[in-house]
Amino acid sequence: MPMTNTPTTATIDDAPLIGRTLVRAFDDDPMMRWFFPDAASREAALGRYFTTIFTRQYVRHGMCERTAAAAAFWVPPEAQAKAVPDAETIQELQNILGDRAPLFRDAVEAAARHAPREPHWYLAVIGADPAAQGQGHGAALLRSGLAQADAAGLPVRLESSKPSNLPFYEHFGFTVREELRLPGDGPVLWAMERRPRRPADG
């Protein structure tokens, strides 16, 4: 039986479920494999990574939603100054990333330099368990956040390092704004943007 794909607000108590879901969702993501190249330790490291950024950043300052098999972390413009890692979180992420921490820092800084200056919603993370693929979990979460951005009359920005995901986002009105090769011979990031739509636009 399909798991419910109705978005609900995620709370800190959902951290174990969200961590497990995002580990599965990002197992084959080029950027996550670049940050965590060791296959033997990747699952545990990814779990710690997603749990840390969820509990310490996005559930506190962003808008986090989940279904039974997917999660999304959104940051509206008024929260973007706060939804950045504090010193303790940075230290925790460095511990998780080990010798890949400098690459991670450089990648974050490179992406930030290319961020648009106008107010926008930012989709920091979205992922669905591959076991629930085709059941509409990711699409439901995407529609939920986009509706709020549209209501505010604001564009939405995201980055993807997985080329197979680009058509999914394009289906929802995103276009590639820029291709960015991450420092240190990292993967390509596609910066995508979606302009706000009025209700009649569909």
**CA separation for the pair 118, 15 (Å, rounded):** 31
Which residue ranges of the chain lie beneath pLDDT 50? 1
- What pLDDT, on the 0 to 100 scale, is given for residue 42? 96
What CATH number should be reported for the domain whose range is 8-201? 3.40.630.30
pLDDT per position as a tens digit, 149-186: 999 999 999 999 999 999 999 999 999 999 999 888 88
- What pLDDT, on the 0 to 100 scale, is given for residue 1? 47
Token pair belonging to 49: 């990574």
Contacts of 189 (CB under 8 A, 6+ apart): 31, 107, 111, 159, 160, 161, 179, 180, 181, 182
* Residue spans per domain, the chain: 8-201
- What pLDDT, on the 0 to 100 scale, is given for residue 12? 97
DSSP, residue by residue, 67-87: -SSEEEEEE-GGGTTTSS--H
pTM: 0.93
- What pLDDT, on the 0 to 100 scale, is given for residue 85? 86
**CA separation for the pair 190, 159 (Å, rounded):** 5
